[in-house]
Structure 1
Amino acid sequence: MKTEHTRRRRRARLGIALAVALAVTGGGVAATAAAPQAAAVECATPWSSSAVYVADDVASYDGHNWRAKWWTQNETPGAAQWGPWEDQGECGAPEPTPTPTGDPTGDPTGEPTGDPTGEPTNEPTDPPSGTNPDEACRPDGMAPTAGIDTPYCDVYDTDGREILPNGLDRRVIGYFTSWRTGAGDQPAYLANDIPWESLSHINYAFAHVGEDYRVSVNADVPGNPATDMTWPGVEGADMDPGLPYTGHFNLLHRYKEQNPGVKVIPAVGGWAETGGYFDGDGNRVASGGFYTMTDSQARIDTFAESVVDFVREYGFDGIDIDYEYPTSNNDAGNPLDFEFSNARRGELVEGYVALMKTLREHLDAAGAEDGEYYLLTTATPSSGWLLRGMEVHQITEYVDYVNLMTYDLHGAWNKYVGGNAALFDDGNDPELTAGGVYTAYDGIGYLNGDWAAHYFRGAMQAGRINLGVPYYTRGFQGVTGGTNGMGGTAVPPSGHTCPPGTNNACGHGADGIDNLWYDTDPAGSPVPAGVNPIWHVKNLADGVVGDYTEAYGVPGTIEGSYTHHTDAVTKNEWWWNAQTSTFLSGDAEWAIGEKADYVADTGLGGVMIWELAGDYGYDQAKGQYEMGSTLTDLLHERLSGTSAYGSTKANGPAPTRAIDLDLEYTDFALGDNNYPIAPKVLFHNRSDTAVPAGATVTFQYATTDTGAMSDWSGLGTTTTPGRSGPNIGGLGADFHTATFTVPAGGIPAGGSITNNLKWALPVAQFSNVVVTINGTDHATTYDHPRGVTVVDP
């Protein structure tokens, strides 16, 4: 379904692509009449293979002047389309210009067919991404799909940064859920309630994997909220009659037309629908979901093909994968899925990587056909425990960005009372203290947003990382110890039934009026967890019983009073009722402001909100807080007019020449047995010549580890730590740097060497891999860098 918005985007993309092509090739539009004779331009000093040129230096070569775009030496002007030289046009005495006799008979932008001097100079070849005219817009580190002219310039500028709407410099991504439809007189949150003018992206939650391994929203079920529901009489919720469906998708399409810069992306999976799905009657079907779909490439292909059809049918801007979780840890994720996940622990990461790679390829191919770019994004865990079972998160090269689920860091699944969404560690996290984590890992705590952001920063630029923020609370009752509850314990009373998956070692979750947004157990009873929208907690703090409590089925009375607290180190925000010993933690204005400033200061790509319906406004007539946009508007304010996000993997200049060398990570132990983390890392030389013995290989990795990486291979790997010690108040530095020397025999052309490395805490993939040969540094195609030329070692 092509809309006017799509056509505008395509025209804009083609305009950028043409500008890029002209800048690279010096090309123009073919003349249809006799062209005037070109003016004589003096040739600059001839280019020399031994001279060093820096940005804006000019040299002449083959009858043209050329301007250097960056530092370069021994790189022939015009030898590589994406090389360091920009053609400034002909120089010297003008030649008579003949009258064109028809269409051009050749490609004026074609590649040189050899060295014009006739000398063997081992000139660089084109980068692996080929001649895609949109290559200049590809984000640093994203893998191009071979053979596809992916239309990156549809959504990215020529620095590889996403073009954002509403004056935003960073993303503000809000999850919009399908189930807040107003059923049972509960407050509805529909597409017309979304603050479109404050957002960059909207994620619709959720679609699921059907039993046929295709993406689904139960569109064939009458009355489903996505495509077959209406809200008569609700202002702003009237349907677009020109669409063949109603429901949320109709309203999203309608408001997207009015806000064409905002991208709308369906999310697949989530906690409840990763290993199953809800049928048309609202019953959960344990089908296996992602776990069984990724059992085979054929099933993955079926799913990817259906995603393309789905995105096209409803006019979406891509797909978001919320797979919770492809980890090899035992008993991880939804307890209802354990029969699927535990049986497949050793294959889940491999299946996840195959899924994301396949989706990238299908979406890129579809985008090339449609003239628009389709985003592929993912929600990722942030706990060091879960990430230990996800190898090195090998999917980072396929996604546009990751949304960190930097919330649910503490909850009633155990007795340790901590913040829902700490930004920093303070060295006193009760769960980590009880588990001996600080002692084991040099004082590093891994249940905070800063640690999770640095985990991914080791593998990708800051701008492809979005920090998650919760517009809801988690909480406990019967809390003892701690400071206003924080850091205390909440032990359930005798006879308390713990939820599945907690091994009967749960905490005492808050219930009743302190648990408005409760889930239910298999028997249909509320699960005590202290889950509330922020607007409800603000009413509790004011001593106000909202007029909505009966609709939610919770008591309409308040015992005691709630005091508001913040912590300057962790940036935790919480409410404490001393009379009932109830603790509720979530993000209101203070924490959201602190996190927005962190995102702006660290170059992160933006924030991701779960979920928009938890935001608040104040109804003066009713004297109560209700659904609104206060927090989202605050994020918009803080993340507009700030600096552009970080767009490069490296923190400094990188080599402009690269060799075709790739890395592969294998042989991880499963889950909790993955200690030390000790995979085999294969360095594959895809070049036509060997990497010689004595060359050095340097790479960087996340400071989420202690910085003491070494090897069991005898290659003498050493690490220069970027930081050390506890991470109280933040990790600070982004990278540790490791180095080893290529052994005797080198890395043969088409061959590999294996380094059996070992480290302690989880890190995502290595990055900024540099091979130094005879004093010359080379980047590697493994990093998918921008603006390099590929040479043989």
Structure 2
Amino acid sequence: MVAATSASKPSLYEPGFLQQSLPYRVVSYFAEWSIYARNYIVSDLPAPALTHVNYAFAKIDDQGEVAIVDAWAATDKPFGDDTWDTPLRGNLHALIKLKQKYPHISTLISIGGWSLSDKFSDVAFTDASRQKFAASAVAFMKRYQFDGVDIDWEYPVSGGLPNNKYRPEDSQNYVLLCKTLRQILDTQGAADGRHYLLTVAAAAGDDKYANFKLGEMAPYLDWFNIMSYDYHGSWETQTNHQAALFGNPADPSPQGARYSADYTIQHYIQLGVPASKIVMGAPIYGRGWAGVGATNNGLFQSASGASSGTWENGIFDYKDLLQRTQTQPQSYVVHWDSQAEVPYIYAQGLENGLFTTFENAQSIQKRVEYIKKYGLGGIMFWEASADVKDPASPDSLTGTAYRGLYQ
């Protein structure tokens, strides 16, 4: 718990404390589908170590309005003391109850994501379509008692799934979409006597954020959640760090130092985004390759393809990797790249050489130091179910970030 720094400043846990006044944000995405095979529910969230929860995801329907993706998960499945006649059940009711228990937390509905960005270009295209979309987003937010809206458009102009609609005008239209959302949120906020949040999940690769008019978007947003991860993965044939904090001069990839959180963040600042509106992303998962030789403990080496994974090939939950390193330390050997300031695992005797890039408590602490050094707005995690559940654990990535920023 964070004590007040002055008589006039309320405690972090005081009901009604406006979250935009917090010095740092600790944001985590809760994935709608985590309640199934992962068996991870809203009450499992590390609430004492969070300031904001983004619910992933809502979609854009054929009418250009915001809609629920999975009704059973979002509004129908009973949790806790829910009964058959509870008017609202599911994850969305569980989030309301979470805020009642932890009133310092704010929640945002995240719209879109990698697989649901196909209609953004259309809803951003005209003033009428922007107004319709924005009005529906705010109505959705109000109906389910969220505290704001998070837009996850992957990506304007180019770079997303093949079925996405793209236009050259997407860059400017995204600015106008943010402006329209801000206006309607502020109108609603004036009526309700409060501030509603507007954030975006923002690209990390320079080929993608080149299509964002970042400086023009910034005035309308409370902050940018920069997805500073997935720089590299098993879609490539050479191992690398998926979320390097800094570039390693030995990196042989064509992108080199450009694919690091430092490079991305410094360019966001150069392009007009205030440092205080930058929230650095961190992955609670690792990406893995198989068939990797032992040179340099597998780093920057050729691979035969994706490794095994926790739920799908090539991707491991952090808590899964942690358990493997703790129970089989001679097989899953953890190494540290002092240039990139991130760890990695090499298991020579598994899968013809298993290499995994991931985050641990040490690298999260390095991110915290960077956030403080440059006056950034905080840290964001994707996604909550992959972390250890107890935020008080020294192995909790979320807890490590919170302690580093607030204690």
Provide the TM-score with structure 2 as the length reference: 0.89
Root-mean-square deviation over aligned CA pairs:
2.6
Which residue identity is paired with 1:230? P
Please give the alpha-carbon distance, in whole angstroms, between the structure 2 residues aligned to 1:477 and 1:405: 25
Matched residues, number: 389
Please give the alpha-carbon distance, in whole angstroms, between the structure 2 residues aligned to 1:591 and 1:637: 14
Matched, 1:200 2:48: no
SS at match of 1:396: helix
Gaps of 5+ in 2: 1-7, 10-15
Residue 323 of structure 1 is matched in structure 2 by 153
Residue 324 of structure 2 is matched in structure 1 by 540
Which residue identity is paired with 1:405? M
Q: List per-residue Cα deviations over 1:361-414 (Å, max 9, x = no partner).
A: 110111111111100000101111222333555312210100110000101222
> How far 1:261 moved relative to its partner?
1.8
Residue 261 of structure 2 is matched in structure 1 by 449
Conservation of the 8 A alpha-carbon contact between 2:361 and 2:395:
no
Which residue identity is paired with 2:323? N
Out of 222, 225, 230, the residue aligned to residue 408 of structure 1 is: 230
Conservation of the 8 A alpha-carbon contact between 2:44 and 2:389:
no
Matched, 1:229 2:77: yes
SS at match of 2:258: coil
Residue 489 of structure 1 is matched in structure 2 by 302
Please give the alpha-carbon distance, in whole angstroms, between the structure 2 residues aligned to 1:420 and 1:473: 8
Please give the alpha-carbon distance, in whole angstroms, between the structure 2 residues aligned to 1:305 and 1:607: 29
> How far 1:629 moved relative to its partner?
7.7
Gaps of 5+ in 1: 1-14, 17-152, 157-161, 232-236, 276-288, 439-444, 493-507, 519-527, 545-557, 619-626, 642-793
Out of 284, 291, 306, the residue aligned to residue 478 of structure 1 is: 291
Residue 576 of structure 1 is matched in structure 2 by 346
Residue 88 of structure 2 is matched in structure 1 by 245
Conservation of the 8 A alpha-carbon contact between 2:59 and 2:112:
yes
Which residue identity is paired with 1:302? K
Conservation of the 8 A alpha-carbon contact between 2:131 and 2:180:
yes
Please give the alpha-carbon distance, in whole angstroms, between the structure 2 residues aligned to 1:571 and 1:170: 22
Matched, 1:468 2:281: yes
SS at match of 1:397: helix
User: What percent identity do the matched residue pairs reach?
Assistant: 30
Q: List per-residue Cα deviations over 1:244-265 (Å, max 9, x = no partner).
A: 2100011110110121121011
SS at match of 2:406: coil
Conservation of the 8 A alpha-carbon contact between 2:244 and 2:260:
yes
Conservation of the 8 A alpha-carbon contact between 2:285 and 2:315:
yes
Q: List per-residue Cα deviations over 1:530-565 (Å, max 9, x = no partner).
A: 211111112222456xxxxxxxxxxxxx9x921101
The structure showing larger relative contact order (alpha-carbon pairs under 8 Å, at least 6 residues apart) is: 2
Conservation of the 8 A alpha-carbon contact between 1:377 and 1:402:
yes
Which residue identity is paired with 1:163? S
> How far 1:200 moved relative to its partner?
0.6
Please give the alpha-carbon distance, in whole angstroms, between the structure 1 residues aligned to 2:220 and 2:41: 32
SS at match of 1:431: coil
Please give the alpha-carbon distance, in whole angstroms, between the structure 1 residues aligned to 2:291 and 2:18: 50
Conservation of the 8 A alpha-carbon contact between 2:214 and 2:273:
no
> How far 1:598 moved relative to its partner?
1.5
Please give the alpha-carbon distance, in whole angstroms, between the structure 1 residues aligned to 2:190 and 2:406: 31
Conservation of the 8 A alpha-carbon contact between 1:481 and 1:487:
no
Q: For residues 590 and 261 of structure 1, do their structure 2 counterparts lie closer, same or farther at Cα, with a shift above 3 Å needed?
A: same
Residue 509 of structure 1 is matched in structure 2 by 306
Please give the alpha-carbon distance, in whole angstroms, between the structure 2 residues aligned to 1:461 and 1:154: 23
The 5 A counterparts of 1:300-315 are: 300-315=130-145
Residue 171 of structure 1 is matched in structure 2 by 25
Which residue identity is paired with 2:21? I
Residue 384 of structure 2 is matched in structure 1 by 612
Conservation of the 8 A alpha-carbon contact between 1:535 and 1:617:
no
Structure showing greater radius of gyration is 1
The 5 A counterparts of 1:287-686 are: 289-326=119-156, 328-329=157-158, 332-337=159-164, 340-341=165-166, 344=167, 346-392=168-214, 394-432=216-254, 445-458=257-270, 459-480=272-293, 482-490=295-303, 492=304, 508-511=305-308, 515-518=309-312, 528=313, 530-543=314-327, 561-579=331-349, 580-616=352-388, 630-641=396-407
Conservation of the 8 A alpha-carbon contact between 1:268 and 1:321:
yes
Residue 759 of structure 1 is matched in structure 2 by none
Q: For residues 354 and 362 of structure 1, do their structure 2 counterparts lie closer, same or farther at Cα, with a shift above 3 Å needed?
A: same
Which residue identity is paired with 1:567? D
Please give the alpha-carbon distance, in whole angstroms, between the structure 1 residues aligned to 2:67 and 2:220: 23
Residue 99 of structure 2 is matched in structure 1 by 256
Please give the alpha-carbon distance, in whole angstroms, between the structure 1 residues aligned to 2:342 and 2:160: 25
Q: For residues 335 and 566 of structure 1, do their structure 2 counterparts lie closer, same or farther at Cα, with a shift above 3 Å needed?
A: farther
Conservation of the 8 A alpha-carbon contact between 1:473 and 1:585:
yes
> How far 1:611 moved relative to its partner?
0.8
Please give the alpha-carbon distance, in whole angstroms, between the structure 2 residues aligned to 1:543 and 1:334: 39
Which residue identity is paired with 1:369? A
Q: List per-residue Cα deviations over 1:620-648 (Å, max 9, x = no partner).
A: xxxxxxx998221211111114xxxxxxx
> How far 1:450 moved relative to its partner?
0.9
Q: For residues 391 and 163 of structure 1, do their structure 2 counterparts lie closer, same or farther at Cα, with a shift above 3 Å needed?
A: closer
Residue 93 of structure 1 is matched in structure 2 by none
Please give the alpha-carbon distance, in whole angstroms, between the structure 1 residues aligned to 2:336 and 2:93: 41
Residue 4 of structure 2 is matched in structure 1 by none
Structure showing the higher helix proportion among its residues: 2
Residue 155 of structure 1 is matched in structure 2 by 18
Which residue identity is paired with 1:638? G
